Structure 1
């Protein structure tokens, strides 16, 4: 019984931290009344994105409140006609430049090299760089709001996390864990104030950077071989003396990361090993997550079967407190909470399985993405 009470209290503390982050420290960018006057380059790396780039590019062309906006698109060895789709949508719009990417040289992964080519070939007059993935659709004021928030935060890097669009059961189980994990376990205030690289986070789907800060940190050249190039870029910024900031970008951008379960499974498998680092660290973290969030409903059923109603009620309370954290996260980031939050123990269990799969595939050197090896 004492163990169950301690478990429930631990979950309560974590959910309380989620609530504080979501209601007090999370930035929520808004469109600046006067717009943005500085030159801005929006950088869009593409590899076999013919089916998804249309809504993304049309949304970029519809941006407002930025007086000097340039859109630089890089076709990174696509074989599905991505460049033709870009040409058709952009037409003769002078704001759009389409580049043909070079294959990554030794020591580089594909996406960091694509982003590095974009950043170094963009108009040198641009003082703000906005990296956007093809699965992101921006609201018309998104670029202006994000650049204005970057300046208001005094940061070199701002990560406004998009609203994750969910369409399948797998989406609903796994995707909301992204926001939940950093709202629950990251001290957002310390992330902005501390100079420690370990206290850094970012999401590469929509990333806004001060150009001078980007170059001072070494840009994507500093994270050339990193599968989690977004997080590593945030750490590089801190090492160079810059600040990073996280924000709720659910009012600025929508993102449907994966079209189906195989893509989602493989997408997480390619990078979870890099999230946790050493397998021993992953084992400890996953075990604690399972203990706090997957075990309580099982313990409640076991206690009830054994005739211990008080123990069952405490375990049930731990389960509901964990689900409450998902509710807080969903309401803070524009996500869906009912009935998905009730399946939170299943979500955490699935995360554990994906982590195990990630390490297993890495050990066998079978990890790849978009036809390129990632480890």
Structure 2
């Protein structure tokens, strides 16, 4: 066997091994049960240019039956604020706030969430992105899962909804990375790289939020959810994660271009700011997934690698509940589709919804607000 073949085979075997562990252990929201005793709940929704999304997501958010619902318009350039006010007019527990302009040193989302946290009055703070679709009783299910895991901070990885080919190629990689590289049992271990979270839906108990210092603690971080998780680990707080299943779903980006722009915004941070690691990761995934189908025409043993890649995607689809089985055949094309994403991520400054985002390297970490 060639060295390359053995290396790729070992890589896929490692991923499939982690995936097997997560199939057995990674929790998925089912909608069964509710928190006992039930805490008071503030559902907090940051919004920027979400008018097109709110029509589909806000009715389900309003139906969650929480003690207070606060929506904050983060200086939108569309009709987000007006639409939110109209849709919440008959709901006494709901308030719509106009956010203040983002101060220097903050990202737009961390500042919006910080303002929301300052307004909340409940024992549990549930931060939910405006593009998240909640099933009936979703918030109660999340709180029950938080209690079951004994988590101070629990985040939900929503079931990813995709429509265009570009979305099919790129968005499921979020689940692939989570389920193939992070065995769920490691979440309770003192391993910094195993501390992760998803900012689409995060729930804090009030004590944990105060211990962390709110979103001010990660005010300049582009990937604020992971930064919060790592800070929580350092502060001795218990982390929890759960897959959203059919209870919490989202369509993150609409179309290929939006996927590239959205994912590129935080990709450099995942390598600690190392562009060399970013290039190596792109090249390695091309070798592991895109090249084997070409080699298998002349070297049949490479067909095994192709099959393992497809099996990996099928198992991820099954675990997340997406069950878009036909998309498994796209697995070899995903690294090719991701190349523009990696190229864009190499730039120092990214743009999203009209705002610049610049990665701040670790030596300047104090400028991002993450406390040692």
Fold shared by both chains (TM-score > 0.5): yes
Comparing 324-333 and 269-278, the one that deviates more: 269-278
Matched, 1:370 2:353: yes
Equivalent residue number for residue 77 of structure 1:
75
**Cα separation, 1, equivalents of 2:70 and 2:110:** 16
Equivalent residue number for residue 96 of structure 1:
94
Matched, 1:167 2:150: no
Q: How far 1:82 moved relative to its partner?
A: 1.0
Q: How far 1:181 moved relative to its partner?
A: 0.8
Comparing 291-300 and 207-216, the one that deviates more: 291-300
Matched, 1:250 2:245: yes
Listed as ranges, the matches of 1:201-350 within 5 Å are 201-276=196-271, 277-301=273-297, 304=298, 312-350=299-337
- Is 1:130–1:206's contact at 8 Å kept on the other side of the alignment? yes
Equivalent residue number for residue 17 of structure 1:
18
Equivalent residue number for residue 342 of structure 2:
355
TM-score by length of structure 1 reads: 0.90
**Cα separation, 2, equivalents of 1:20 and 1:107:** 40
Q: Residues 33 and 201 from structure 1, CA distance in 2 versus in 1: closer, same or farther, beyond 3 angstroms?
A: closer
Q: How far 1:111 moved relative to its partner?
A: 0.4
Kindly provide the CA deviation profile for residues 301-356 of structure 1, in whole angstroms up to 9, marking residues without a partner as x: 2xx2xxxxxxx332111111011111111111122442211111211232243112
Structure 2, unaligned runs of 5 or more:
359-372
Q: How far 1:16 moved relative to its partner?
A: 2.5
Q: How far 1:36 moved relative to its partner?
A: 6.0
Q: How far 1:71 moved relative to its partner?
A: 0.6
Comparing 218-227 and 344-353, the one that deviates more: 344-353
Matched, 1:52 2:45: no
- Is 2:9–2:305's contact at 8 Å kept on the other side of the alignment? yes
Equivalent residue number for residue 185 of structure 1:
181
- Is 1:165–1:254's contact at 8 Å kept on the other side of the alignment? yes
- Is 1:21–1:183's contact at 8 Å kept on the other side of the alignment? yes
Comparing 6-15 and 80-89, the one that deviates more: 6-15
Q: How far 1:275 moved relative to its partner?
A: 1.9
Equivalent residue number for residue 38 of structure 2:
37
Equivalent residue number for residue 85 of structure 2:
87
Question: Which stretches of structure 1, 4 residues or longer, exceed 4 Å deviation after superposition?
Answer: 33-36
Q: How far 1:6 moved relative to its partner?
A: 4.8
- Is 1:29–1:247's contact at 8 Å kept on the other side of the alignment? no
What secondary structure, in the 3-state scheme, does the structure 1 residue paired with 2:203 have?
strand
Structure 1, unaligned runs of 5 or more:
305-311
Q: How far 1:284 moved relative to its partner?
A: 2.9
What secondary structure, in the 3-state scheme, does the structure 2 residue paired with 1:102 have?
coil
- Is 1:300–1:313's contact at 8 Å kept on the other side of the alignment? yes
Q: Residues 5 and 273 from structure 1, CA distance in 2 versus in 1: closer, same or farther, beyond 3 angstroms?
A: closer
- Is 1:42–1:70's contact at 8 Å kept on the other side of the alignment? yes
What secondary structure, in the 3-state scheme, does the structure 1 residue paired with 2:217 have?
helix
What RMSD over aligned residues (CA atoms) do the two structures have, in Å? 1.8
Comparing 292-301 and 84-93, the one that deviates more: 292-301
What secondary structure, in the 3-state scheme, does the structure 1 residue paired with 2:193 have?
coil
Kindly provide the CA deviation profile for residues 104-149 of structure 1, in whole angstroms up to 9, marking residues without a partner as x: 11111100000010011112xx111111111111001110000111
Kindly provide the CA deviation profile for residues 19-75 of structure 1, in whole angstroms up to 9, marking residues without a partner as x: 2212223344533157762101111001111111122221011125xxx52111001
Q: How far 1:242 moved relative to its partner?
A: 0.6
- Is 1:150–1:209's contact at 8 Å kept on the other side of the alignment? no
Q: How far 1:374 moved relative to its partner?
A: 0.8
**Cα separation, 1, equivalents of 2:35 and 2:42:** 19
Q: Residues 201 and 175 from structure 1, CA distance in 2 versus in 1: closer, same or farther, beyond 3 angstroms?
A: same
Equivalent residue number for residue 128 of structure 1:
124
TM-score by length of structure 2 reads: 0.91
Q: Residues 243 and 36 from structure 1, CA distance in 2 versus in 1: closer, same or farther, beyond 3 angstroms?
A: same
